[in-house]
């Protein structure tokens, strides 16, 4: 296990361990080229066929192309080696890339809603057949891109951001297809701006989830799927461990969990034996929870709680931040 596997119910799942950075780079590049080409096609089609749904989806796709570019840059930064200034490297660059994608989605959604509301009362004369053809091609491109990125996603929020863009574009293409059919069958031009609003709502929903999860990482919250009580209980259950405290869990990157804790060992142990116990416990954490970055302070007796921890205890909250 390399620490990038999926964590579920406190356990690391090796199913995602085959995902490599090179696989993610390739998926992003292919999606970037495909979406860049279709973005031009969709924009031209929206202007020619007077479809706001197509223009809105083209604007969304522009954010996709920009977002995929941001994701590629972020992936490149993640691969840089650690330096004296950045001792963990630039692993959180992919989280910042995902957050930039989320903000871009919000801007696009706001623009689409603004334009659509203005058109509902005075819908343009939409060419339904052209709208349907272009939207169908878009659906194929978006679905293929989404599948490609999903297979290389792993637990990276950066890749998730790119996938969300593709998935929302696929949903937008479906909405545009529905608008095209409505125009052809019922001459209902008003469906086009309504479909645009549906697209925008989907975009807002996906952007919120992405921004929420990136904020969790940047605020060093507990990684999704990792239960602090389960981690502490696993360490405490070890025969050589007397107690565990000062437990902290966070993410270096969205798919790289990290941990620090104080571990009180039983009995009188030599420095050599303590180091051997620490190495064994770290291996246990990596195998059980996918935590490859673990810092364990080994002790022969419990240390005094830190001032902030004393405050939490007085407020009825334990050292993990949970009510006692």
DSSP per-residue string spanning 115-146: HHHHHHSS-----HHHHHHHHHHHHHHHHHHH
- pLDDT above 90 covers a percentage of the chain that reads 19
Taking only the tens place, the pLDDT of each residue in 5-53 is: 444 444 444 344 456 767 877 888 888 888 888 888 878 887 887 777 6
Within a 10 A sphere around the Cβ of 239, how many other Cβ atoms? 6
pLDDT at residue 306, rounded to an integer: 54
pLDDT at residue 253, rounded to an integer: 76
Taking only the tens place, the pLDDT of each residue in 265-321 is: 998 889 999 999 999 999 999 999 989 889 999 998 777 655 555 544 544 544 444
Residue with tokens 């008003």, as numbered in its chain:
190
Helix, strand, coil % in the chain, rounded to nearest 5: 65, 10, 25
**Higher per-residue confidence, 40 vs 60:** 40
Q: Phi first, then psi: what are they for 268, rounded to 5°?
A: -95, 115
Q: Cα–chain-centroid distance for residue 262?
A: 30
User: 6-218, what's its fold?
Assistant: Alpha-lytic protease prodomain-like (1.20.1510)
Taking only the tens place, the pLDDT of each residue in 134-151 is: 888 888 988 998 898 888
- C-alpha span between 155 and 291 (Å, rounded): 13
* Residue 3 scores a pLDDT above 80: no
Q: Determine contact, residues 111/173, Cβ cutoff 8 Å.
A: no
Q: What is the pTM (predicted TM-score) of this model?
A: 0.65
The secondary structure of residue 15, as a DSSP letter, is G
Q: Under CATH, which number does the domain 228-314 receive?
A: 3.30.70.1350
- Going from N- to C-terminal start, the domains of the chain cover 6-218, 228-314
């Amino acid at each position: 296990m390399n620490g990038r596997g999926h964590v579920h119910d406190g356990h690391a799942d090796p199913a995602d361990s085959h995902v490599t950075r090179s696989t993610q780079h390739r998926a992003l590049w292919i999606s970037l080229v495909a979406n860049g080409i279709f973005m031009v096609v969709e924009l031209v089609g929206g202007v020619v066929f007077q479809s706001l749904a197509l223009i809105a989806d083209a604007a969304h796709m522009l954010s996709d192309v920009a977002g995929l570019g941001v994701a590629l840059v972020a992936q490149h930064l993640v691969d840089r080696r650690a330096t004296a200034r950045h001792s963990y490297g630039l692993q959180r660059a992919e989280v910042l890339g995902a957050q930039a994608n989320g903000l871009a989605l919000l801007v696009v959604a706001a623009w689409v809603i603004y334009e659509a509301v203005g058109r509902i009362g005075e819908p343009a004369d939409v060419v339904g057949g052209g709208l349907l053809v272009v939207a169908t091609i878009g659906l194929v491109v978006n679905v293929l891109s989404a599948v490609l990125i999903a297979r290389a996603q792993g637990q990276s929020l950066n890749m998730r951001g790119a996938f969300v863009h593709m998935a929302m574009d696929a949903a937008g293409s479906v909405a545009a297809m529905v608008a095209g059919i409505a125009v052809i069958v019922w001459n209902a031009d008003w469906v086009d701006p309504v479909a645009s609003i549906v697209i925008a709502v989907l975009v807002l929903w996906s952007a919120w989830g992405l921004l929420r999860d990136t904020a969790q990482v940047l605020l060093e919250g507990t990684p999704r799927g990792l239960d602090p009580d389960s981690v502490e209980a696993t360490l405490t259950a070890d025969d050589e461990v007397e107690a565990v405290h000062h437990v902290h869990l966070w993410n270096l990157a969205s798919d790289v969990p990290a941990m620090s804790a104080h571990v009180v060992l039983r009995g009188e142990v030599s420095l050599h034996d303590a180091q051997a116990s620490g190495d064994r416990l770290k291996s246990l954490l990596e195998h059980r929870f996918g935590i490859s970055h673990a810092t364990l302070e080994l002790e022969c007796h419990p240390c005094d709680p830190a001032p902030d921890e004393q405050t939490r205890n007085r407020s009825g909250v334990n050292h993990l931040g949970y009510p006692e």
